[in-house]
Chain A
Amino acid sequence: MSKVLMKGNEAVGAAAIKAGCRYFFGYPITPSSEIPEYMSKALPEVGGVFLQAESEVAAINMVYGAGGAGARVMTGSSSPGISLKQEGITYAAGAEIPCVIVNMMRGGPGLGSIQPGQADYYQSTRGGGNGDYRTLCYAPASIQETVDYVMLAFDKADEYRNPVLICADGMIGQMMEAVEFKENLNKNLPAKDWATTGTKGKREKNIVNSLFLEAELCEDHNIRLEKKYKLMEENEVLYEAFGLEDADVVCVAYGTTSRIVKTAIKLAAAKGIKVGIIRPITLWPYPYAIYKDINPNCKGILGVEMSQGQIMDDIKIGIEGRMPVYFHGRTGGMVPTPAGILAEIEKIAGGTK
């Protein structure tokens, strides 16, 4: 298939439809409003339903209903809206409802700013909602990856019966790049025989539910969920990494920031500093194991993120204290520059940090 030029938010919608998503419930918010706008036009054309909900709370609970009824369903929003969706996400995790939630992150906290941010890392990877639950979380760094991982997200949601997050930054939502839609959907997914479709008198009733009034049963449920999360940890980790074995410095970054880091790496190479990169593609499960490949004589790890350093906890877990770790970031909607990152790299490599 040939490539088409698309804006990130529209590509999200197109990829979802390509993946068989026929229901979208959302509420407008910058910088993700083109997702509902796109869906409002495109979904009716394929016999699907777009509905503008009265709030993000309602939208995610509509997603819960539709997902529980067996449909491929998505919602999309940006940081403050995603905060409101946490209730529905934890209920969907508890009731094991497959669904896809796209977050085009912006500056925070509170109303924050409408420019790109990556400060929802904790919320995305550490739960966000209440209880012991996990969600697969893809962080695309290009529009092509956005398309690929949105499509994969629907398969993974169905495979694990779990909500899946797409954690992109507002830059991804707003920029345009050429993309190609690949026909790579998994055709061997389990039938949704648990969904509420009406019994038609042919089977026992189905119940979609996250309540367990007896503590023992709730614990059993959690243990079963945990097994599923372990499987995700074993099988779903995705990352890009290069230059680790002989690195003077290793940078860790995801999404748009990783692209800026790659530019800084080239600038550093021109100055004779060898810089490797670890780019988590799944923020959860996290690619901790790759940290073992880092040159033991590496001077330090530099985390770069559009935040005040939420990325650092996982870096520390990955490196297990073997070398110093540093952070460089811009936040509140500001974007790090190659020059700023290069300056940090030089300090670490030169031992002045």
Chain B
Amino acid sequence: MTMVYEKSKGLTDVPFHYCPGCTHGVIHKLVAETLVELGVLEDAIGVAPVGCSVLAYKYFNCDMQEAAHGRAPAVATGIKRVHPENVVFTYQGDGDLASIGTAEIVHAAHRGEKFTTIFVNNAIYGMTGGQMAPTTLIGQKTTTSPLGRTVEHSGMPIRMSEMLATIDGAKFVERVSVDTPANIRKAKKAIKRAFECQIQGKGFAIVEVLSTCPTNWGYTPVKALGWLQENMIPYYPLGNFRDFEEDK
């Protein structure tokens, strides 16, 4: 019998707790596969955020630290400065990275810290029950924007990739989505490149992944993918904002 599909060795056997249709799981798989394919799983040290993916420290099959809300880039800085030869990554949601942890991510990028950040943007606070995030779209209803987000009250949704791409130390910045098989393949490629950026010692690398939260958006998994395509992608355009030169 030939094996056609196998769970990545980069993931442990602990079952995911994510809601049905949540794309956090797909993103975990892509990160895990990348670590294995690059042969760095045994050198990897990951930092989990506070958010729905808080338990990522149980899922990734490598050494892990659990950070305070938003502080993963500072924790990763501490780890990478102690172990410059290891491959260090953070996995963070949009509340974690784009709200409470903006200072930490901006300055890690600014210093050109040589770690990789996987930034999961689902336009909402998943774990705490669907409150507004800085990434919540205009008109989007959440439990703390019950009539829909307005510009007057909360400003425009923050575009982290565009902002981080202006920073010199950020050597790889790309926004991807995991809504279709084709986009998942592109996401995997970007994640791989973001880790290569670190391995080659280029500087800070981040991949923003547009992700669904069927539970708090109040849609079925399929409808949630449609909502992401119709609403998130137009405001958060996919594509590369920064790439580094290959070492010849």
Contacts and interface: CB of A to CB of B under 8 A. Distances in A.
Interface of A: 23, 25, 49, 51, 53-55, 57-59, 61-71, 73, 87-88, 91, 95, 196-201, 205-211, 213
Given A23-B81, A61-B78, A198 B43 contact: yes
A73 B45 contact: no
B68 interface: yes
Given A207-B57, A207-B58, A198 B81 contact: no
B66 A69 contact: no
Nearest to B84: A49
B64 A208 contact: yes
Interface range on chain B: under 10, 10 to 19, 20 to 34, or 35 or more? 35 or more
Interface string B102-117: 0110110001000000
Contact of B79 (A55, A65, A87, A88): A65
Given A64-B75, A206-B63, 8 more contacts: A58-B74, A65-B77, A66-B78, A68-B75, A198-B86, A199-B41, A205-B63, A208-B66
A211 B111 CA distance: 29
Contact of B83 (A51, A55, A67, A198): A198
B83 to A, nearest CB: 6
A73 B78 contact: yes
Interface in B12-60: 12, 41-45, 47, 54-55, 57-58
Given A54-B104, A61-B75, A196 B54 contact: no
A235 B70 CA distance: 37
A62 B74 contact: yes
Nearest to B12: A205
B81 A91 contact: no
Nearest to A54: B107
A61 B45 contact: no
B61 interface: yes
A295 B233 CA distance: 78
A69 B68 contact: no
B62 interface: yes
A323 B79 CA distance: 52
A201 B63 CA distance: 11
A65 B84 CA distance: 13
B103 A196 contact: no
A87 B80 CA distance: 21
